[in-house]
Structure 1
Amino acid sequence: MSRQIITSSNINQTDFVSNKQSGKTLAADLKSLFKFPVLIANAVPIFAGFWLAVYFTGASFAANAGTFLLTIIGSTLVMAGALVINNWYDVDIDTVMSRTKSRPTVTGTIPLRAVLWIGITASAVGFILMMFTTAAAVQYTFVGWFVYVVPYTMWSKRRYTLNTVIGSISGAVTPLIGWAALAPVSHIVPIILALIIFIWQMPHTFAIAIRKYDEYKAADVKMLPVVHGLEITKRQMAIYIACLLPLPFYLFSLGTAFVVIATVLNVAYLALAISGLFVKDDMKWARKMFLVSVNYLMIIFVMAIVVTLPWGG
């Protein structure tokens, strides 16, 4: 009798652990499918764009909280939809690359048909929510979605090294989406922030492409280092970062502290890029460039928010 009780207890415990593990697996699969870190990286500039529009127009954030929620949730769903469709379309590439072999599209834990419908549904719901903001915000959101899904994912990624430039347009519209949800994008601040993201994405993506050179080559993805070599890629990275140098000086409306800190970041970023022209260990240097680039963009946008808080200026 006691053994039967113990056995039943063990079965229940096993089921509990199995269910718990399944929950963890599903959560991990969804996080991978929606490329959660990428979503966060795009949501911050959207929030910054909206916040800065509130600041410069003298509007009340509390009075526009509903519009903000529609904007942040709607645009994030649209971006999520685009990323999921990208996963669905790129399953053959992801199967070859070791860094993407754990995605549910590759492992088969989520059927491809379901993945496609998740992407379409998320995009559709996101656009419906965005329609309750402004026409301009919807337009910028559509530009980001369309460029990422069609010209980038379905056309240029497998054919041309220009795919990085094309894909950068999708990221660049994020602060414009946030700003346009509240006010016309005729102010210098959102335009410069969009330019920063657009330019930044080239050295950021090239750093990833250098680190994952063998994988991109095996998958026949037309990344710059794979097609034209590491030396040309490193020189272009330095040139793009140099193009960031003058941009903070158009943002004096955010305060001298912002301009000084952003300029110091740009100089340090450029110095690291130039050092890459002389290093022997390209992989180690590319890893540093990747880490710096991720932190660079987050610091820029968080700082833009902080300096415009009531106690930040």
Structure 2
Amino acid sequence: MNKSTLKRTLKGKESNEKRRKNIVKDLKSLFKAGVLLANVLPVLTGFCLALYFAEEPFGAHWITFILTISGSTFVMAGALLLNNWYDADIDAVMERTKGRPTVTGSISLRVVFTLGIILSAVGVLLLLFTTIEATVYAVIGWITYVIFYTMWSKRRYTFNTIIGSVSGAVTPLIGWAVIDSAMHPVPFVLFMILFIFQMPHTYVIAIRKFEEYKAAGVKMLPVVRGLRVTKWHTFIYIFLLIPLPFFIGELGIWFMMITTIVNVGWLLLSIRGFFVSDDLRWANQMFRYSVYYLMITFLTAILVTF
């Protein structure tokens, strides 16, 4: 092989490698990988806790487990794709989203829409092999997120955050309902924890990206009502989280202690926001804490059952 041929070969390999990396990057952005993973954890928690309270062995339900995780993931992925498809115009305005393939054109909007519908349908079909109740919760989450949040309220009303929080909060109900009816205090409290958690979590994201949301015309609370009002809402919702672990004492003293510590820590950090001069730095700290909060709370709920 002569030098020119070798150079062309190496250049072609580099080009293919770069193309593969770009595809992976586009897919991660398209599926909002971080959001998707954060939604899978509560499904897993609901499933594990339902097994624990029903005194059922995991080995007897491993096929159900695969169907549940796969089905719920597909439904959520489909909803996120449809969110990207619908929001392509405002994503083009916002710095953090203007690199998404729906904006750059590396993946066409038609493909994204079609894939979103297909994944959603496949996810629902897989969940139908578990229980009707679990499937209903997944469909409620999908409709709430795609129709009521993305298409109706996000660009019009500040309460879009409340609507969006409902869709994220149904995830532990899905995991629980494949084993037993979710008409039980534990999955209901997990639903409430997730629902309330998403409010301050989303508010601090809106503070971090204040100028972008303002430019895109998205009716987030800090854009419409200002930072101080948003800080008060953030404090109130975190305060409401504090008593919730005590309603599920069945999970034991360690769960109540750990979750109370992280709740109080988050509350103190929210209070600090009223006295800081650098709102952006505070919002970044709050966002990081909220991510750890979700992981600690739901992993603890699983671990205390062993």
TM-score range, shorter chain: over 0.9
What code does the residue aligned with 2:268 have?
Answer: A
Q: Map 1:249-288 to 2 at 5 A.
A: 249-288=246-285
Q: Distance in 2 between matches of 1:60 and 1:111?
A: 45
Q: Map 1:15-34 to 2 at 5 A.
A: 15-34=12-31
Per the alignment, residue 141 of structure 1 pairs with: 138
Deviations 1:132-175 (A, max 9, x none): 00000000000010000000000000000000000000110000
Per the alignment, residue 175 of structure 1 pairs with: 172
Alignment pair present for 1:294 and 2:291: yes
Alignment pair present for 1:14 and 2:11: yes
Alignment pair present for 1:303 and 2:300: yes
> Post-superposition shift, 1:187?
1.7
Per the alignment, residue 63 of structure 2 pairs with: 66
Per the alignment, residue 209 of structure 1 pairs with: 206
Q: Distance in 2 between matches of 1:63 and 1:28?
A: 38
1:240 paired residue among 234, 237, 240: 237
> Post-superposition shift, 1:89?
0.2
Deviations 1:110-150 (A, max 9, x none): 01101111101111111111110000000000001000000
Per the alignment, residue 106 of structure 2 pairs with: 109
Q: TM-score, normalised by structure 2?
A: 0.99
Q: Structure 1 vs Structure 2: percent identity of aligned residues?
A: 57
Alignment pair present for 1:37 and 2:34: yes
Q: Distance in 2 between matches of 1:148 and 1:242?
A: 26
Per the alignment, residue 98 of structure 1 pairs with: 95
Q: Distance in 2 between matches of 1:216 and 1:81?
A: 24
Deviations 1:206-244 (A, max 9, x none): 000000000000000000000000000000100000000
2:126 paired residue among 126, 129, 136: 129
Q: Distance in 1 between matches of 2:72 and 2:255?
A: 27
**Aligned partner of residue 100 in structure 1, secondary structure:** coil
Alignment pair present for 1:200 and 2:193: no
> Post-superposition shift, 1:23?
0.6
Q: Any runs of at least 4 consecutive aligned residues in structure 1 with deviations exceeding 6 A, and if so which?
A: none
Per the alignment, residue 186 of structure 1 pairs with: 183
Q: Distance in 2 between matches of 1:31 and 1:265?
A: 30
What code does the residue aligned with 1:176 have?
Answer: L
> Post-superposition shift, 1:27?
0.7
> Post-superposition shift, 1:191?
0.6
Deviates more, 1:266-275 or 1:219-228: 266-275
Q: Distance in 1 between matches of 2:144 and 2:159?
A: 13
Q: Distance in 2 between matches of 1:129 and 1:52?
A: 21
Q: Distance in 2 between matches of 1:145 and 1:187?
A: 22
Per the alignment, residue 223 of structure 1 pairs with: 220
Q: Distance in 1 between matches of 2:209 and 2:280?
A: 9
What code does the residue aligned with 2:258 have?
Answer: I
Q: TM-score, normalised by structure 1?
A: 0.97
Per the alignment, residue 159 of structure 2 pairs with: 162
Q: RMSD across aligned C-alpha pairs, in angstroms? A: 0.7
Unaligned residue ranges in structure 2 (runs of 5+): none
Q: Distance in 1 between matches of 2:45 and 2:59?
A: 15
> Post-superposition shift, 1:307?
0.8
Q: Distance in 1 between matches of 2:151 and 2:44?
A: 29
> Post-superposition shift, 1:29?
0.4
Q: Distance in 2 between matches of 1:77 and 1:32?
A: 16
What code does the residue aligned with 1:23 have?
Answer: R
